[in-house]
Structure 1
Amino acid sequence: MALTTKFLLLVISLLCSVDAYKILVVISLPGRSHGILGEGLVRHLTNAGHENMMSKRADINSMYVMIDLCLEVLRSTVANHNVQNMLRDPTQKFDVVISEWLYAELYAGYMSFWEDNYYKKYLVPYIKNKPVPTFEELKYNASLMLGNSHISLGEAYSLPQSYKPIGGYHIETDVRPLPKDLKVIMDNSLHGVIYFSMGSNLRSEHFPEKLIRRFLDIFAELKQTVIWKFEANLSDIPKNPILTACSLFRTVAFCLRRNQSTSEFL
């Protein structure tokens, strides 16, 4: 009887066992939209019980300087003290690496054209005494690719089995209630609400004054209440718009906004 009980306990414990991975998440660019996707991925993995490591902020002072931006991102990321501590810690081991498919080759190493040839010819054949694939081969040999797309956003097309569309995964399902002042505005709007935002990368306050006034004139003619995401104070504005899950979601049609809009309507 005791043996049977122990056997049943063993079977039950095996059925309930789970494997948690230690995952390194690499987001190549510090843009807000890229961060939203990275944070959404880490949130789901963390909720599933995995241990994740992801750098939250890149120390880049100006995003307006686009010349050599990728190299500057590379230098800033590698020089980050958290990244340096991870690279120098011999105890750090990861079960999975999830990398953004955008400029990921920047982190393959610092080498010139000639150094790369010497490396492949004289060092690679002797690494761990086994064949080492080139970076070009590795780029097209991903075990799994997670794509920010969904069948509801376009036409159906065939995909390889290693590609999984997960578009909209960054959208939080736990929706917070609207602030009281915003809820009052929306509830009292007889003709609905238009929300106007330039997204996370563009700021309305940087528009030329003439363009801002043109938008104000257009919004003033609409019967719907317009809520404009504006980052500064304006003078001499009409009652509509109001500068501060709407009846109409009007914003810049970047990929994340499109996914969120589709999710709201579905």
Structure 2
Amino acid sequence: MCKLIILIFVTTINFINGAKILGVFPSPGYSQFILGEVLMTELARRGHDVTMISAYKPREELKNYRTILADDMVNKPQRDLFPREREHFINRIRSVHNLGYLVTENALTNSGVQNLIHSNETFDLVILEQFLNEAHMAFGAHFNAPIVLFSSIGISEWNSHLIGDIRLPSIVPVTKTHYTDHMSFFQRLFNSIVNVCDILYKELVSYPIHQEYIDKYFPKKMNLRDIIYNASLMLLNSHVSTTQPASLTTAVIEIGGFHVSSKKLPEDIQKFLDEAENGAILFSMGSNLNISNLPLTTLDNIMEMFSKMKQRVLLKYEDINLKNKPSNVLISKWLPQSDILEHRSLVAFVTHGGLLSVTEAVFHGVPMVGIPIFGDQRMNVARCVRKGIAVHLPFQELTAFNLHQALVKVLENREYQDNSRRNANIMRDRPVRPLNWAMYWIEYVLRHNGAIHLRNASLELYWFQLYLIDVIIFLMVSLILMYYLIAKRQRIKGFHPQVTQNTNAKKLRKKNKLKKY
């Protein structure tokens, strides 16, 4: 019996190590690439044969790790994204879907991707970065392989429906708002309306476009409605310390912070931070926003403000030869953000509020000044403000004076430091490293041939059935009909004596006329 158990165990390990896995991570954002690469390289280290569709080349060469570059969007000139902060809410929703269309079609038109689709290759599993690219769900059906979704953000209206997770509009805000799970009545009302509008937009506009992509770029005939809900599992780059408590189905696994690791800093940065006797501030607006797009007067005033501070400043900026650079400021086009945040000298982080940046700041216990611009950044900053680990500085109010006031608030109010350390302890207090947790669940899907038993019954319902819209409409119509029938019956009863009285009066008048003649 013991030998049989050992044999089964060895056979399982050999099967898992021999798995062929396709990773589809087409996002042009470098932060998203980092997350995808950490996940896929770890699978390669564990013996899996990995093929990665990506916008960037791998940072590490592994013999069982192959990259198919889909970098057309990366090579295009980068737009100034700061004006997106002033977009109307409806335009925000439309623009994010338009980005999804671009990312989806850009990957599918790539020659390397088309060669793969038309090859005879097979895969045991497809891991798909999910961001409004529903047509890419066809990779799973095309290769007849289970799908594991990966989302670089938490549960949202962009991904929850694909895995059968139920989002209550009363406590789960739409991603592009600045709401948290504590909403006022009018916020809940607005949130509910926007949820319905988003659903209708996906059903009437977005899904037909993605169906066209499937028809155009895949040789097999596939119906989006038949394949869109076939994911076995969804991995979220989130955690209660960075987002909020959520009621997640068994097929949704949170692995926020899985990419964080300790690496040695470059010598110049290490020296700069080691000698920061009064602490250091990191100022970075992420990989998609260029600080050089700020008005020159604003940037000059900020530099002047930094020169008067006792802290040292690390600035991610596109022009390392910036004129009038203060002596306490170090400028670099790229900064190892997580490793800098880990340094003991870091006392504050000025950030755009992307979830990757927020996760790293939370993990290392560094309070933030959040200047959100687009996407999920407003919500991320709002959550951090509620946790007492960040100050929100609206982009339209970004001046040297306001930035200084926000930094002073974070630096001099002890609560921000204490709350950040407490939140870091919450993130770190886990029984299993999040990357190992991700590996376990990915291989779980492989071991159980897609793990169909994790599927939620809500996937078999239309959205209006799931949220009982049809039941509510039925009850409302029934009540209206019942009221109408009761009112009609009362009206008939009420008028019947009157009709009899009028008839008798007519007879009496006729009789009097006869007597007169």
Q: TM-score, normalised by structure 1?
A: 0.78
1:80-119 aligned within 5 A: 80-90=110-120, 92-107=121-136
Equivalent-residue separation in structure 1 for 2:291 and 2:78 (angstroms):
16
Distance 1:207 1:195, change over 3 A: same
- Paired position in structure 2 for 1:152: 241
After alignment, is 65-74 or 159-168 more displaced?
65-74
1:39, 1:170 within 8 Å by CA — same for their partners in 2?
no
Task: Report the alpha carbon displacement of residue 9 of structure 1 after superposing the two structures with TM.
Answer: 7.1
After alignment, is 200-209 or 55-64 more displaced?
55-64
Equivalent position to 1:42, from 40, 43, 67 = 40
SS at match of 2:283: strand
SS at match of 1:153: coil
Task: Report the alpha carbon displacement of residue 189 of structure 1 after superposing the two structures with TM.
Answer: 1.4
What is the root-mean-square deviation in Å for CA atoms of aligned residues? 3.1
- Paired position in structure 2 for 1:4: none
CA offset digits 1:21-53 (Å, max 9, x no partner): 211122243222221221122122222222221
The amino acid of 2:313's aligned partner reads: V
Task: Report the alpha carbon displacement of residue 204 of structure 1 after superposing the two structures with TM.
Answer: 2.0
Task: Report the alpha carbon displacement of residue 69 of structure 1 after superposing the two structures with TM.
Answer: 4.6
The amino acid of 1:15's aligned partner reads: F
- Paired position in structure 1 for 2:30: 32
- Paired position in structure 2 for 1:237: 325
Same amino acid, percent of matched pairs: 31
Is the counterpart of residue 16 in structure 1 residue 10 in structure 2? yes
Task: Report the alpha carbon displacement of residue 112 of structure 1 after superposing the two structures with TM.
Answer: 6.9
Equivalent-residue separation in structure 2 for 1:96 and 1:202 (angstroms):
34
Task: Report the alpha carbon displacement of residue 71 of structure 1 after superposing the two structures with TM.
Answer: 4.1
The amino acid of 1:248's aligned partner reads: V
Task: Report the alpha carbon displacement of residue 195 of structure 1 after superposing the two structures with TM.
Answer: 1.3
Equivalent position to 1:260, from 352, 356, 360 = 360
Equivalent-residue separation in structure 2 for 1:102 and 1:155 (angstroms):
20
Task: Report the alpha carbon displacement of residue 149 of structure 1 after superposing the two structures with TM.
Answer: 1.0
CA offset digits 1:38-78 (Å, max 9, x no partner): 11221222222222211232212234397955444344322
SS at match of 2:313: strand
Task: Report the alpha carbon displacement of residue 253 of structure 1 after superposing the two structures with TM.
Answer: 1.5
After alignment, is 40-49 or 251-260 more displaced?
40-49
Unmatched 5+ stretches in structure 2? 56-70, 81-94, 139-206, 333-339, 366-423, 425-517
Is the counterpart of residue 53 in structure 1 residue 51 in structure 2? yes
1:168, 1:259 within 8 Å by CA — same for their partners in 2?
yes
Task: Report the alpha carbon displacement of residue 164 of structure 1 after superposing the two structures with TM.
Answer: 0.5
Task: Report the alpha carbon displacement of residue 144 of structure 1 after superposing the two structures with TM.
Answer: 0.7
After alignment, is 238-247 or 226-235 more displaced?
238-247
The amino acid of 2:33's aligned partner reads: G
Equivalent-residue separation in structure 2 for 1:167 and 1:137 (angstroms):
30
SS at match of 2:231: coil
Equivalent-residue separation in structure 2 for 1:86 and 1:218 (angstroms):
53
Equivalent-residue separation in structure 2 for 1:187 and 1:28 (angstroms):
38
The amino acid of 2:363's aligned partner reads: S
Task: Report the alpha carbon displacement of residue 196 of structure 1 after superposing the two structures with TM.
Answer: 1.0
Equivalent-residue separation in structure 2 for 1:15 and 1:106 (angstroms):
37
The amino acid of 1:217's aligned partner reads: E
The structure carrying a bigger helix percent of its residues is 2
SS at match of 1:24: strand
The amino acid of 1:16's aligned partner reads: V
1:249, 1:261 within 8 Å by CA — same for their partners in 2?
no
- Structure number with greater CO (CA < 8 Å, separation at least 6) is 1
2:303, 2:326 within 8 Å by CA — same for their partners in 1?
yes
Equivalent-residue separation in structure 2 for 1:249 and 1:26 (angstroms):
35
CA offset digits 1:189-234 (Å, max 9, x no partner): 1101111111111122232211211210221221111111222111
- Paired position in structure 1 for 2:232: 143
Distance 1:46 1:198, change over 3 A: same
Distance 1:227 1:80, change over 3 A: same
2:27, 2:54 within 8 Å by CA — same for their partners in 1?
no
Is the counterpart of residue 200 in structure 1 residue 194 in structure 2? no
Equivalent-residue separation in structure 1 for 2:271 and 2:208 (angstroms):
61
SS at match of 1:84: helix
1:193, 1:248 within 8 Å by CA — same for their partners in 2?
yes
Equivalent-residue separation in structure 2 for 1:234 and 1:50 (angstroms):
46
Equivalent-residue separation in structure 2 for 1:108 and 1:176 (angstroms):
35
Equivalent-residue separation in structure 1 for 2:266 and 2:280 (angstroms):
15
Which of the two has higher C-alpha Rg? 2
- Paired position in structure 1 for 2:498: none
Distance 1:135 1:258, change over 3 A: same
Equivalent position to 1:216, from 294, 303, 306 = 303
CA offset digits 1:94-139 (Å, max 9, x no partner): 1111212212223468x978x98xx9xxxx9xx8xxxx8x533543
Unmatched 5+ stretches in structure 1? 1-6
Equivalent-residue separation in structure 1 for 2:226 and 2:119 (angstroms):
28
After alignment, is 212-221 or 71-80 more displaced?
71-80
- Paired position in structure 2 for 1:165: 254
